[in-house]
Amino acid sequence: MKNIYISMFALVSLLFAGCADDYLDVNQTESVSTDDIELYNNNAGAETFVTAIYNKFLDWDTTSFGWIGLASITSDDADKGSSPGDAGTDKDILDALTYNASNPSCRDIFKAYYAGINRCNQALNIIPQLDKADAGLRSRLMGEATFMRAFMYFTLVKIYGGVPIVDHLPNPSSLEDKNMLLTRKPVTEVYAFIENDLNTAIAALPLKSAYSADEKARVSKGSAYALLAKVNLYQKNWQKVVDNCNLVTGYSLVPDYATMFRLEGENGPESIFEINGVGSVPAKGIRQYSQVQAPKGTGGWGWGFNTPSQSLLNAYEPGDVRKDATIIFRGTTLYDGKLVPNTVQNERYNYKAYSSNYSGADDSDANVIFIRYAEVLLMKAEALNELGQTSDAISLLNQIRNRAKLPNTTFSSQDDIRKAIWRERRVELAFEFDRFFDLVRTGQAKTAFAADGKVFTEGKNELFPIPEAFLNEAKGLSSQNPGY
């Protein structure tokens, strides 16, 4: 799974956006021929269709520059960074929350995730036809593809609200299928679709412990339960959060927080869903993920974007080991002996994106963790507190604090513990792409952004704009989000 960069795009990367005049072009979703099916009618062939889905997370927009801008620089944890004159195409606009329906990152993330969904649908269509592949393997691969589709839709619904649900390969001649591509569904319907996919994935996926060492990066039953708990969290279905968190078994907090974000700690006992980066050629890693966030200026080795804010720095309590594991400080020496000179332009940089082996390369070996066990504990704590089981929530909260070398919380009331859990999520999961969405779902956004010097417009900034190019193609089938 470390070398998941393959050249099968003619078969498994049939993207929606194929023609200049069609935003989601149904003509690109054609069937694979009988001869091609036979060529891949074996275990290795079946696996390639799911490998192509994992590969999508190595792209520039899916997990790199566009995603960093939209999901991190917009938050109060991060500033644009780099130099004042380098806008990073639109990162200054994202930082100021002044984006509109023509924003490149909003457009590119929308397209990238639907391209990924198309790969999922390709896999779900083709793998059942590969009758010479092992039946158990095919079932597991179907579970992986279904999980990935659910994860992609969860990302889309958090960003845009209601979106089109594309649950199969569209027929180019079908008006119904073209309408499917271009019609936004209500948020409740999207969440129901995600939950259904996750329940399907749970039935097919093995436990993480069932995977061999060279396959430990694959999603598992625990991945699906954890994501389902997170989907429940966003809908405030508190008891379901608890129930699904209880089913995430076989994971544990690692003793040393910092190691999770280094090569030595990849896919460790805390990791639930983690995207592998690579550093060898031709198997490239997440495109420039480390480079665009690395220190910039004389003696630096990157572009300097997505820098930790003063607001985030102020959120750490004295003695919290997570601060130095999350933030690179100008003038310090990193864990591998690399010096960050005083001549770099910004005071702080994202340590979780640092690659020691490929620090100045376009593509690095840095992984991206999307879900880990600490978040499961915090989700369960939040839900238990909302259910009135505050003492049980405090116990879970203290597990997270103690790992960070902090004492037990001194708070005890339900409201104080609610705020303590929210604050703990911030410092525990900083630069793991949750903060903006946490502020929105918990109703903290306006106050938090004001404290960070940003204006969050309620009734508008909870969602990002639907891309104008998509709405032009939809021709009235879909409408824009409020305020845009």
Helices (H), 161-274: 175-182, 187-204, 221-234, 238-246
> Could you tell me if 286 and 368 are in contact, meaning their C-beta atoms sit under 8 angstroms apart?
yes
Percent of the chain with pLDDT over 90: 88
> Could you tell me if 390 and 249 are in contact, meaning their C-beta atoms sit under 8 angstroms apart?
no
Please give the pLDDT value at position 172: 84
pLDDT tens profile 62-115: 999 999 999 999 999 999 999 999 999 999 999 999 999 999 999 999 999 999
pLDDT tens profile 308-367: 999 999 999 999 999 999 999 999 999 999 999 999 999 999 999 999 999 888 888 999
Percent of the chain with pLDDT over 70: 92
Interhelix angle for 414-428 vs 435-442, to 10°?
160
Quick check: 272 pLDDT over 50?
A: yes
Phi, psi of 423 (to 5 degrees): -65, -40
**Three-class SS state of 403:** helix
Instruction: Give yes or no for a cis peptide into 172 (omega within 30° of 0).
Output: no
Phi, psi of 413 (to 5 degrees): -75, 155
Please give the pLDDT value at position 278: 78
Please give the pLDDT value at position 33: 64
Average pLDDT on 365-383 reads: 98
Residue with tokens 């238990």: 384
> Could you tell me if 263 and 277 are in contact, meaning their C-beta atoms sit under 8 angstroms apart?
no
**Three-class SS state of 164:** coil
Distance CA 37, CA 302 (A): 43
Distance CA 178, CA 376 (A): 38
Distance CA 458, CA 468 (A): 21
Judge residue 410's burial from the number of C-beta atoms within 10 Å of its C-beta, 0-12 exposed, 13-18 middle, 19 or more buried. exposed
Mean pLDDT, rounded, of the chain: 92
Please give the pLDDT value at position 453: 92
E strand or H helix that includes residue 307: strand 305-308
Please give the pLDDT value at position 1: 37
* End-to-end C-alpha distance for the chain, whole angstroms: 41
Distance CA 457, CA 471 (A): 23
Spell out the domains of the chain, with CATH numbers in brackets.
Answer: 9-236 (1.25.40.390)
Please give the pLDDT value at position 32: 61
pLDDT tens profile 158-203: 999 999 999 999 988 899 999 999 999 999 999 999 999 999 999 9
Average pLDDT on 429-433 reads: 98
CB atoms within 10 A of CB 306: 27
pLDDT tens profile 130-148: 999 999 999 999 999 999 9
pLDDT tens profile 192-221: 999 999 999 999 999 999 999 999 999 999
Average pLDDT on 236-260 reads: 98
Average pLDDT on 45-51 reads: 96
Binning the chain into helix, strand and coil, the percentages to the nearest 5 are 50, 5, 45
Please give the pLDDT value at position 37: 83
